[in-house]
Each structure stands twice: as structure tokens, then as C-alpha cells.
Structure 1
């Protein structure tokens, strides 16, 4: 049975990151993107546990999140297997939490599945004191992400009508199996497109890496491993300086393992820029693009959540992610918060292959068993960017 549960989530953890990433790129076309599909999906998975059985709400969530089963017990067990797997990890930590409006109670079945299967703590809080409530939630997220993710929830999204906030935080810090020698890092051009360039700190290494020439994608792929884990960074570099958009279109329809299965150990001359990226966004338009719209409306059916019989809907889904890549390795973190309101509220040894990542590329940090944990692109290493949410603050 455990195999079946794992497969249900594994299939989903393959398709959902592709659809999510494609939608985020479409809505945020000109900035460095970094997000954590597994953080977003875990938060939405907790939401799914509170949707009425057989409802249109449950159906839209199942389809939009790419679940291959509508059996909540199987889904919950699948999430448990994934979350429990990372409990043993020394390089990746995930944590879930639910905040409930004071004097409100979750239904026993809902609280049981969240605590036992999603390993989530439940805490009562007074959302009407929006500043204090936001500070409490943000302090918890900060504590779970080594202070990399701050202020994921702004006080203006909380008020007396808020009933629940579902939060997932994920933090990753991995050392490369093959570290870069800092003394070889030097200033080099990074080509933003055919005409424009910027100067970046470019890391160098010539070593054996898992590499593939993806002729059908007009791109190359290279995988770097992290110590003490089954986690990897995969970079897919288009052959053309302005080829990222075309590559991304093809990747949307391509399962990750169909690319990783082509990788072969090869001597490679590697160049990768040092970079940091931060991205922040409100995910309502993304969920609507993915076909999940009913959760934001008066038709939402979340009768399994609270003892109090109040009609609930989702008012905000907030996501913030950060990544830093340097000679030692990678540090990344993300957090997702879902705010629910009552409805009145809103190869052979030879010459090395060349893999010089000196123009925009796609990357993912993934686990062979659990798919993409972080997905992003690098358009300009000289800029640390964030998304549309920043404009709102």
C-alpha cells in the first residue's frame, strides 16, 4: 500500500511543478524566478483535507494539483511518507502549521489528519489583532527557515473575519559533492540576451559530472550532487543566448525523469555564476490559471474544517522563496501561507564537454524519489528579485 500512496504523490510531484512553473513564468516574465512546488502543494494538500467529499471544490483541487486519486486517505498517507522521509534529512527541513481563530475549533477528523499525516501543529490565535497575528506567524516561518524567509504574511491580509491560516515552510542547505575552488572564481560576462550583458562572479570547475546534450531541446543539461543526500541541482542551459523561453515551453510537457535518465557521467568544463534570488508572490491568479477557482468563491465547500458551521473560502495564498548558490553549495528556503476567511472577506574520457552557464537558464533542485523541491530560472545573476507581491506591500 505504501508504494501505491507514494506513487500517487510522486506522479503529482512530477506534473504539478511543471504546470506551476509555466504559469508563474507567464505571469512574471522578466524576473528571476524561484519557487517551491512541494511547499505550495503541501499547503494546498492540507486545504484539500478540509474540502467536502465529492464536491466541486475537491474535484478542482485534485485536478489542479495533479493528484491521481481522489481518496483523501491515500493522499494523506502519500504526504505523510514524503514529509516523514525528510524528517531524517540533514540538509532539508519542512514544517507545517495551522493557525485557527481563537474560540474556534477544528473538526476532530481534520485536526487528526493534519497532526498525524501532515505533521502539523495547530495553534489558536486572534486574527483581529492583525499586527500581532502576522508577527506570530512570521516569527514561526523565520524560525523554520534559518531566518531566510521573513514577513511572508502582511498584517493587511488578516482581520476579524480570518478563520484559518495554513502555513508550510521548507529550508534546504546543501554542500556540493564537488565544491568549486574559490580562487578560480572570476569576473566574467553573463549575456542577458543577444545584445546585453552584465559582469558576474563566475565559478569554474573541470570534473566528472552527469551531463546530457539535449538535441531535441536545443539545450544541454548538467547535474550537480549535494553531499549526504539524494538531492541534486539540475541546470538546463539553452544553446542560444535568448533560447530560454523556447526551452521552457518544451519543458512544460516533459517529465523530469525523461531528462535525468539521459544523463551520463562525463568530464565537463563547467562555469556557473554565483547568485542569489528571492521571489515573492500572491498565488490566487496562479491557482485560477491551474483551474482551481472555486476555493476563492462563495461556492467553496470546506465543511470538514471547523466545528462552527460557517461558510469558508480562501482569500490569499502567499508564497516566498529564496536561493543562494556559491562555491560551497546552495541554501534555499520557501514558505507558503494560505489564508481562509468567512465569505464576507476578500560519456567516455576525452576532451571535456563545455557547459558554460553564461546566459539565462532553467534549474531545479530535486530528489529522485520526490521530484522537484525548488524550481527557478536565472535571467540576471546581478539582480536579486522578487515578484508582484512586493509591489503590494
Structure 2
């Protein structure tokens, strides 16, 4: 008799929005995964914002149900450091508790058919993610879409109210995991609104005028022959900052992405010196909706979706069907709203060193106390 294989619907949702650790075991391997994920997601024809740590947390949860064939594949894919399932669940939970604060929230929600979950997997979900598993009828796509959208709306303070459309839900789904990451933080030093002016941004697809924010500030700064980078802190209580990495000279964003590595990021952090800069940064907003499965397959992890080796439900095997992430970031004078997109030529003779983000750049948002990258992306294209 053939064993029944049920598709596992796996959805990851991310929201990054702004309104006008010590290292723990789960952090180990995070930087490597973040860099690999971003480089495989990168597309020079569009802007991007992704949260590899969000994907990593979700897959660490699915790892709890993995059999002997799939478990090592997940370990390899997300760089788990040979942890047992119990250790992984505990470390993931400790990590979530450590990063959650008034400015950053990581929330999970699980839905299942009316069937009994494998007890250890259900226990792990409750322990690692601090959430119950809600029983739903995946055949009733109307009610299910309303249920999901209500949860996402509540999790993101009503910023996104229509996360899923009814027709996008598959009736043969048996389990769904949704992850919401919401960030709301103000700059430690806000950009003065009256200093914002129209400046040319040299997009990959042509120059456009943008609203360019400007201020003089003392920040950590790292300069090399190929790039320079500056760290812009959010409010102290948020424990967050954004690094902006700009190519230098004739270097391009593509060159910068090519050379991006964990060692490069570590060098930026460790080799930075605090100096006085005149920082110019565009207001910008990015929204991505993408299939995480495609990225993981490009990274060489297609086995994650080919092995029916998940015991989500007692007595039968399931497989991961797809992984979805939606991400939004909005940056303005107050913190992390708008996008715009000519030219003001200024020659600096003395005073603070200029750090002008007038051309495509990479950015990442990190938790400062643990050096954990929460979001990473690039701003390179106008969308009009």
C-alpha cells in the first residue's frame, strides 16, 4: 500500500514599517545564511528587502517534524550548528524572546486541518514559537482568507489588511505557518525635514530626482578602496541600527553584491571608526512579495521540497509545498515612508567627510547587541 503524501503549505510573512546578545546558539550560522540568501535573491532590475532570519526561524520550526532524511537537509540549508531538535526549539525561542521589544515584534501563527498533529511537533511549536495551532477548514477558502487576513492585520497594527486573496489558497493544504515581523523605530538622530531637497539619484535604470534627506552626524564609518559604509542608529532603546554600504569610484552595485561575504560584513563592523559625516540618504520605500522556494532552490537546497519526510500529523508523511514572504520597508526623516527619485553638484573643500547615497546601495538592519541581521536589501531602481 502506498503511503499518503500530503502537501504542506508554508507561508512566511514579513512587514517592516515605520510611522513618521550576546550571541546565542541560534545566532550561529545566521550571518552565513543571510549573505547566501540575499546574494541568491538579488536581481539588479529591482529593489529588494528580505528577512533571511525570518525564513531561518520558520524552517527551524519545520525541522522539528523532519525525519532522518530531511533533518540533515534543513540543518545544512539554514546552517544549524548540529543542534538536536530540542536544543533548536529552545534556542529559537530564546532568540525570539531576546529580539522582541517595543520596536520589533516577531510573531507566528499556525493553522491545521481537523486532524491530530504529531505530539512532539505540536509541543515544539508551542515551546519555540509560543503560539497555539488553530484548526481551520482549508476547503472553505473564503473563511480561511478572512481568518488569515484578520491575524495579519492585528499582528501589523492594521498596516496590511489583505495579505492573502481567496483564490491564492489551495484547498488541499493541511498545515500553514505564518510569520509576521514588524519593525517600528525612530532614528537616534532624526533628519531635519527642512534640510530635505531634490537631488539626482543615479538609478540603474536612469537618473531621477528624489527627496534626499541630509544631516551632519557622528557615526561609525568604514572606508576601503571598493566601498564605504556608515551605521545609522535607531533610538537607543530599540537596540537597532541600519548600515548603508556604498560602492566607491567606478564600482557598481553588482560588484558590491559579488564581493559581499560574512567576512566583509564582519570587517565593516570591526574596522569602523566613529567620525563626523555629512550623510545624504534618499527617502525610500520597497515592497517585495516572492517565493522563498525559488531562492532556496538557487542556493542548492531543492531537496527540501522533494523529500516527503515530515511527520506533521501522526501516522503520515507530508512535504513542504512552498514558502512565501512579503516584505515592506519605509524610510523617512523620522525613521524606518515614501519614495521619490536630479542633480545638485556640490564640491566639498573642508568640514565633515561626505557620505552621499546618490547611487545604488546595500543596506541591512541589525540588532546591535547581538550583531544579528534582521533585514537586508538593496535600493537601485526607480519604479515609475
State the TM-score, normalizing by the size of structure 2.
Answer: 0.86
Question: 2:352 — aligned with what?
Answer: 352
Aligned mates of 1:257, 1:153 — CA distance in 2: 38
Q: What per-residue deviation string (whole Å, max 9, x for no partner) do you get for residues 85-135 of structure 1?
A: 133x1110110111001x212122111111122222211111011232123
RMSD: 2.2
CA contact (8 A) 2:202 2:358 kept: yes
Question: 2:328 — aligned with what?
Answer: 322
Instruction: Tell me whether 149-158 or 253-262 shows the greater mean CA deviation.
Output: 149-158
Aligned mates of 2:322, 2:167 — CA distance in 1: 11
1:205 aligns to 2:215 (yes or no): yes
Structure 2 CA distance for partners of 1:132 and 1:86, relative to 1, 3 Å: same
Tell me by how many angstroms 1:144 deviates: 1.0
Tell me by how many angstroms 1:149 deviates: 3.9
Question: 1:39 — aligned with what?
Answer: 54
Aligned mates of 1:133, 1:306 — CA distance in 2: 20
| Greater than 6 Å deviation, 4+ residue runs | none
Tell me by how many angstroms 1:148 deviates: 3.4
1:19 aligns to 2:40 (yes or no): no
Question: 1:121 — aligned with what?
Answer: 132
1:134 aligns to 2:142 (yes or no): no
Aligned mates of 1:295, 1:171 — CA distance in 2: 27
CA contact (8 A) 1:172 1:331 kept: no
Aligned mates of 1:282, 1:126 — CA distance in 2: 24
Question: 1:111 — aligned with what?
Answer: 122
1:286 aligns to 2:286 (yes or no): no
Question: Which residue of the other structure, out of 302, 305, 309, is the alignment partner of 1:301?
Answer: 309
Q: What per-residue deviation string (whole Å, max 9, x for no partner) do you get for residues 224-249 of structure 1?
A: 11111221000001114761111111
Tell me by how many angstroms 1:378 deviates: 0.3
Structure 2 CA distance for partners of 1:150 and 1:370, relative to 1, 3 Å: farther
CA contact (8 A) 1:241 1:360 kept: no
- Secondary structure, in 3 states, of the residue corresponding to 1:162? coil
- Secondary structure, in 3 states, of the residue corresponding to 2:184? strand
Question: 2:376 — aligned with what?
Answer: 375
Instruction: Tell me whether 157-166 or 89-98 shows the greater mean CA deviation.
Output: 157-166
Q: What per-residue deviation string (whole Å, max 9, x for no partner) do you get for residues 127-167 of structure 1?
A: 01123212311221222122334544443443332110011
- Secondary structure, in 3 states, of the residue corresponding to 1:83? helix
Aligned mates of 2:140, 2:44 — CA distance in 1: 37
- Secondary structure, in 3 states, of the residue corresponding to 2:323? strand
Question: 1:10 — aligned with what?
Answer: 27
Equivalences for residues 59-74 of structure 1 within 5 A: 59-74=72-87
State the TM-score, normalizing by the size of structure 1.
Answer: 0.84
Aligned mates of 2:263, 2:363 — CA distance in 1: 14
1:189 aligns to 2:200 (yes or no): yes
Aligned mates of 1:31, 1:245 — CA distance in 2: 12
CA contact (8 A) 1:46 1:114 kept: yes
Tell me by how many angstroms 1:370 deviates: 5.2
CA contact (8 A) 2:36 2:299 kept: yes
**Alignment length (residue pairs):** 351
- Secondary structure, in 3 states, of the residue corresponding to 2:300? coil
- Secondary structure, in 3 states, of the residue corresponding to 2:129? coil
- Secondary structure, in 3 states, of the residue corresponding to 1:249? helix
Greater relative contact order (Cα < 8 A, sep 6+): 2
